[in-house]
Amino acid sequence: MKNILIITAHPSSRGFTHKIAATFKEVSESKGDSVEILDLYKPENRQEFLDFENIKEMPEDPSVVRMQEKITWANELVFVFPLWWYGEPAIMKNFWDKNFTARFAYRYIDGKPVGLFKGKTGRVFFTSDGSWFYQWLLLNPVKHIWWLTRFGLCGIKLKSFTVFGSMFKRDDAAREKLLVKVRKAAF
């Protein structure tokens, strides 16, 4: 049994990202896993954007303490978001900036980063409306950002990276077929 934290970032409660998260949760709980969905757009989960004059004098932020407790609890982190301008929504990026900090998620030893989350796994699901050409051209860099510079730096092993493209063309029946991939990934 695992503890799974699903982090979503979509401003609409009707966004397909929330269906992905709910489906992953349902299947994981049916296996006995403990699952929490952390919707970054819910008021209780919003964090102020990172802001400081001197990083060494940053005051303790109760929202960071709370989020880091959730991250620590989880064996698996699942990120679900729409791809906007070939990146995650700003609220998701801020989640990384605020919470995956030095001495919590990684530290430097002899000038080299060492991940502190060894044993944790991660998954990424995102939706996109971009053209096939831009998807083909830019998806590898997006994957590498998550795999190498985010998960890799923190010691998290990437289990899956799933893209649901051309969402604007998909009706409810086609979207339901996409959720089959989510069910397989969760199982």
Q: Beta partners for 80?
A: 8, 125
Q: In sequence order, what DSSP letters do the residues of 51-79 get, joined into one string? A: --S-GGGPPP-HHHHHHHHHHHH-SEEEE
Q: Which residue has the higher pLDDT, 77 or 167?
A: 77
- Per DSSP, the three-state class of 85 is coil
Q: Beta partners for 3?
A: 34
CA distances from 86 to 18, 37, 92, 138 (A): 20, 24, 13, 7
**Beta strand ranges found along 40-182 (DSSP E):** 76-82, 106-109, 112-115, 121-127, 157-164
Domain with 41 in it = 3-47+61-186
Instruction: Give residue 155's Cα distance to chain centre.
Output: 15
156: pLDDT strictly greater than 80: yes
**55 within domain boundaries:** no
**Residues above pLDDT 90, as percent of the chain:** 71
Decide: pTM greater than 0.75: yes
Confidence of residue 124 (pLDDT cuts 50, 70, 90): very high
Least confident of 51-55, 123-127, 128-132: 128-132
Q: Which of 10-19, 36-45, 126-135, 139-148 has the highest average model confidence (pLDDT)?
A: 36-45
Average pLDDT along the chain:
92
- The pLDDT value given to residue 75: 97
Which CATH number covers residue 154? Answer: 3.40.50.360
**56 within domain boundaries:** no
With contact defined as beta carbons under 8 Å apart, do 75 and 120 qualify? yes
137: pLDDT strictly greater than 80: no
Q: Which residue has the higher pLDDT, 137 or 110?
A: 110
**177 within domain boundaries:** yes
Tell me the two tokens of residue 68: 């880091």
Amino acid at 97: D
DSSP tally for the chain: helices H, then strands E: 6, 7
Q: What are 11-64's pLDDT values in tens digits? A: 999 889 999 999 999 999 999 999 999 999 999 999 999 888 888 888 889 999
Q: How many CB atoms lie under 10 A from the CB of residue 81?
A: 25
- The pLDDT value given to residue 54: 86
- The pLDDT value given to residue 143: 87
151: pLDDT strictly greater than 90: yes
- Work out how many domains the chain is built from and give that number: 1
Q: What are 86-106's pLDDT values in tens digits? A: 889 999 999 999 999 999 999
**148 within domain boundaries:** yes
**162 within domain boundaries:** yes
Q: Which residue has the higher pLDDT, 85 or 134?
A: 85
